[in-house]
Structure 1
C-alpha cells in the first residue's frame, strides 16, 4: 500500500497522494474490466477521496488509430480503494475533441 498523507493535520482522515491515486485508479479499473491499464486524463480530490478519468482501449484494432477508446470516471476512497466507476464516453482513438 502507498504511503499516506494527512489532508487535515494529524487528526483528519488519511489520504494517499495524487501519484498513488492515479496508479490505483488505472490499475483497479483495468482489473475490473479485464483490460490493459490506460492513462489518467483527470484527477480531482473529493470529500470522499479521489475522482479520476481513465482512458482505456475497449476494442483494439489494426491500425491502432481505429481502436475504440473509452473514458471512465473512477471514484476512490481516501486510501485509494475503488468505490465505483462509470463509462462517460466512447470514441475512436484518432478522434480529436473540438
Structure 2
C-alpha cells in the first residue's frame, strides 16, 4: 500500500482546480442565458417598435417619417400608420404629406408598407366628415 500525504501544496492545487471548475460552469450558465435572451424570447417594447418602424420606412423610401398616427399590436406583429413628408414646398403648408400603412413582424422588422393617402400639410382631413 502506498501512503499519500495531504500536504498544504496538494490542498491548494485541489482548491484551485475546484474554483476553476465552478468559474467555467458559471460562464456556461451565463452564456446560455444570454443566448436564450437573444433568440427572440422577448417581444420589443412599443417605443422600440415605433422608432424602428420610422427608421426602416425612412431608409426604404428616402422620405422623412414625421409622426405615427396609428399603432396597434396584431397577431402577427404590429400595424402602424405613419405620416411622411413626401414633397417639401414653400410655404410649409403647401408641402405634400402622405399616410403609409406599415406592417412589422413580432420582432419589429418591417414586412410591408403602402401609401394609403396623400394630402397637403395645411388641409383638414375630410374622411368621415361627410
Shorter-chain TM band: 0.7 to 0.9
Please list every run of 5 or more consecutive structure 1 residues that lacks an aligned counterpart in the other structure: 1-12
Partner Cα separation in structure 1 for residue 93 and residue 46 of structure 2 = 30
Higher strand residue share: 1
Q: 4+ residue runs of structure 1 moved beyond 2 angstroms?
A: none
Larger Rg over CA atoms: 2
How large is the RMSD of aligned CA atoms in angstroms?
1.5
CA shift for structure 1 position 52: 0.5
TM-score, normalised by the number of residues in structure 2: 0.63
Q: Distance in 1 between matches of 2:100 and 2:64?
A: 14
TM-score, normalised relative to structure 1: 0.83
Higher RCO, Cα 8 Å, sep 6+ = 1
The answer on 1:57 being equivalent to 2:79 is: no
Of Structure 1 and Structure 2, which has the larger fraction of its residues in helix?
A: 2
Tell me how many residue pairs correspond in the alignment.
87
